[in-house]
Amino acid sequence: MGIYKNIWLCISLCLVLGCTDQTPKRGDTAAPESESSAGSKTPTTINGNDPKEVIRRAIAAFGGDTARNKLKNCRLSARWVATMPGVGVDNTVIIEDCFCYPDKWRRTARQSVDGAEMMLSVLNGNSHWARIAGKKVQELPLPQVDMRKPAILLTLDRLASLLESQQEIVVGADKQIAGKTLIPLTLTTGQCQSTTYFDRATGLIAIDTKNIVPNMHSSPETWKKEGPVESETMYGDYKNFEGVMLPTRMIVSQAGKTVLDMSILQVEFPSKFDAHTFDKPDEK
């Protein structure tokens, strides 16, 4: 059971890293394979250095209001290759997430080899349950991060909030990375800084860099002593799903080491879920 808990903590941490807003530096690391134009319209070209115009064009490139509405109720299946920090063991897991906004989420994690259930987690209103390795169902505290929305929807919400914000957003000089021209926008909040790189040709996000707490459960004193860890998320292989542009490849690294390589396998936007999808899991 211990290894399942360790793996789950690892992949949960990786998801948080991919969605959270914080900071960094940037080297010319190769990004995932180039975006697919399957089903997409003519790419939007970003001109000028107005940061809010860059953000507006990014929101439109992802699908705008169509994307934000569809992503509130969706089912995503993905293959995660997660490396446990400090252990170096790669674990390939098949994840299925069901999102039903505003207050329901379900995640199933299975071994890629035999399909054995590693963990089932369900959030329904103010209730949060988990069944680990098919054992007894446990009631858990509510997650500290918003698990009711997929990462890209959280990103779109963040971009939309920046349009209304009076906070300074600094536009950097164009960067040539992996054959692409990227526009960096840097945001500083207190001692935290994050930089998002937007593809000038498509308007989509290519890279997010940020500083993160090395241990989710470490105290502020420990963080000050150890210092922040640089995290980077690279997005690639964008595809159009019913008007929603999604990256089907995400690579997350910490301190220069890959901790998560995620590939989207399937995306669905059901009109409704089965009535029992978000019920408390049965005990096996």
In a domain, 106, yes or no: yes
Domain range for 109: 2-267
Helix axes 51-62, 151-164, angle to 10 degrees: 150
In a domain, 42, yes or no: yes
In a domain, 188, yes or no: yes
Q: In the numeric block, which tokens belong to residue 171?
A: 């536009």
**Residue 195's pLDDT band (boundaries 50, 70, 90)?**
very high
**Residue 235's pLDDT band (boundaries 50, 70, 90)?**
very high
Euclidean distance between CA atoms 17 and 36, whole angstroms: 25
In a domain, 231, yes or no: yes
pLDDT at 15 (0 to 100): 41
Q: Average the pLDDT over 10-18 and give the result.
A: 39
* pLDDT > 60? residue 113: yes
Euclidean distance between CA atoms 246 and 249, whole angstroms: 9
Is the Cβ–Cβ distance between 17 and 83 less than 8 Å?
Answer: no
Residue type, 212: I
In a domain, 260, yes or no: yes
Is the Cβ–Cβ distance between 207 and 234 less than 8 Å?
Answer: yes
Name the residue with higher pLDDT: 59 or 46.
Answer: 59
pLDDT at 21 (0 to 100): 37
**Residue 209's pLDDT band (boundaries 50, 70, 90)?**
very high
CATH code at 219? 2.50.20.10
Provide CB contacts within 8 A for 217, sequence distance 6+.
none
In a domain, 253, yes or no: yes
Share of the chain above pLDDT 90, in %: 58
Euclidean distance between CA atoms 233 and 254, whole angstroms: 9
Euclidean distance between CA atoms 64 and 159, whole angstroms: 11
* pLDDT > 50? residue 18: no
* pLDDT > 50? residue 132: yes
In a domain, 162, yes or no: yes
In a domain, 284, yes or no: no
What is the average pLDDT value for the chain, to the nearest integer? 81
How far is C-alpha 105 from the chain's CA centre?
Answer: 15
Helix axes 2-19, 151-164, angle to 10 degrees: 30
Tally the domains of the chain. Answer: 1
